[in-house]
Amino acid sequence: MESASPEKKGINKIMLLVVSVIIGAMVLWGIISPEGLDVAMQAALNAITTNLGWLFLIVIFLFVIAMIIIMFTKWGNIRLGGDDEKPEFSTMAWFAMLFAAAMGIGLVFWGVSEPLCHYFTPPFGEAASDGAVGVALRYSFFHWGLSAWVVYAFVGMCLAYFAFNLKRPFLVSSVIEPLVGKHRWLLPVADFTAIFAIFLGVATSLGLGVMQVAEGLNSVFGFPASKLVYSILVIVFTGCFIISAVTGIKRGIYYLSNTNLILAGLLLVAVFVLGNPRFVMNALVTGLGETIQNFIPMSTWTNYMNDGAWVGGWTIFYWAWWIAWAPFVGGFIARISRGRTVREFILGVLIVPSLICATWMCVWGGNALYLQHSGIFNFKPMLDASTASPMFGLLQNLPGSTILCILAIFIIAIFFITSADSATFVNAMYCSYGDEEPKTWLRVVLGCLEGGLALILLVSGGLGALQTASIVGALPFLIFMVAMFFSITRAFNKHVRQAENNVSVQPTLTNTNNQST
């Protein structure tokens, strides 16, 4: 396998072949013995969360502190692409694309289910109590807040600076290259980890999205979820996100992201107005205050005096999931952030989205908690059957439920398409030595592979194991992220010193030779 150099062009065939063989073997395992794959991957995940959960917690917490500090230092004045670079996209379009790629379908999927899960099974205190309502919202805000977005913001910032300012390829290996010295075999390992995570992440996301849309079709039109319905939805979704990825960032991805931001905003307002606005606003203000007040304890709580199962199953699981998605989301955010200052980048990718996620969680989850806790509607049977169902259960308790459910299905579909087309675009970049405009045919091939992977595992029942496998892959990337931190701080220091001495930043590194293993 090879790491990229600025001159390297074409397709990284060796990297693509190795990834395809390994994923193909996992798919075959999932088809032949989905239970066996699930047991093996779950055992690996449990070993990581049990023995190294503390590492995930402390590293993510320190990243949050570091990014906030960077925002208020001279480093925040650095402009991605150079002092004269202008933003490639408007602020609204930029935010729409980064949000749709990063959180879209997951936030819709868990907006109702997660607060309910924490309400029925809180980390501490009495279940289904007044206190459980507050704990449910606080931890939902926490899991989708600063600690989630800091992963994407940090990786995106590193990739953007090295690509736009130092003229390096859009690859993780470009960021860690100044640190590896003679150990250049680490470079293709870093890029392999990224491509592998993107493949598995898109496949599992597609599977989860299909399951939720199928649940919506069942709720509205009475179509029972079946393998045939799953297959049709996968084929349709795959075709749509391939078309969007082929048309490029400035057309398909751009227009879909902006459209969906408007539609999601309308649905959010509708649920807020038609639900219980007073309860939601009180819960939002209180929940944000409690989240800020308890941020450090929640960020460092391992529950070590007990088995730590709740923390491992939720907080550490989420941190690993965000890290597993970081190569794709961070890469895409970097690609669309040319011309932004580091301060503007952190504010737009870390602070604002965290507030939006909290608002979304409170409007959806808060209304569901109100219905549940007041005895108006019981979500428990629905939640036990499927985590995809409670969202539609909430909508069915609001006026105009049919229209709202149809709109929700449409939004879920577009959110998935915007995530998958962005991931396909970034995956093609990684397979093209970091080329900012990868070949069209490669995007099509990768899209078909991702759709086929999701379809096979969804039908065979191996999707859950694949999702677990992608999270297991977060551990090596976490280590690479730590290395990226030392590399970017050194690069920022050099940039500021050169700027103070009126010396232009040189787009060269100490070692830019190709390497292979």
Spacing of C-alpha 24 from chain mean position: 23
CA distance 443 to 432: 10
Residue 173 DSSP class: H
Q: How many CA atoms lie within 13 A of 197 on its CB side?
A: 29
Whole-prediction pTM value?
0.89
Give the type of residue at 462. Answer: G
Token digits for 309? 């199962």
CA distance 398 to 18: 50
Domains with residue ranges and CATH for the chain: 13-498 (1.20.1740)
Q: pLDDT tens, position by position, for the chain (517 residues)?
A: 555 454 567 788 888 888 888 878 877 887 888 788 788 888 888 888 888 999 999 999 999 999 999 999 999 999 999 988 999 888 888 888 887 776 667 788 789 999 999 999 999 999 999 999 999 999 999 999 999 999 999 999 999 999 999 999 989 999 999 998 888 888 998 998 888 877 777 777 777 778 878 888 887 888 887 888 888 888 888 888 788 777 777 677 778 878 888 899 999 999 999 999 999 999 999 999 999 999 999 999 998 888 778 998 899 989 988 998 888 889 889 989 999 999 999 999 999 889 999 999 999 999 999 999 999 999 999 999 888 889 999 999 999 999 999 999 888 888 777 777 777 888 888 888 888 788 888 888 888 887 877 777 777 766 677 667 777 778 888 999 999 999 999 999 999 999 888 765 555 554 444 443 3
Do 335 and 436 meet the contact criterion of CB atoms below 8 Å apart?
yes
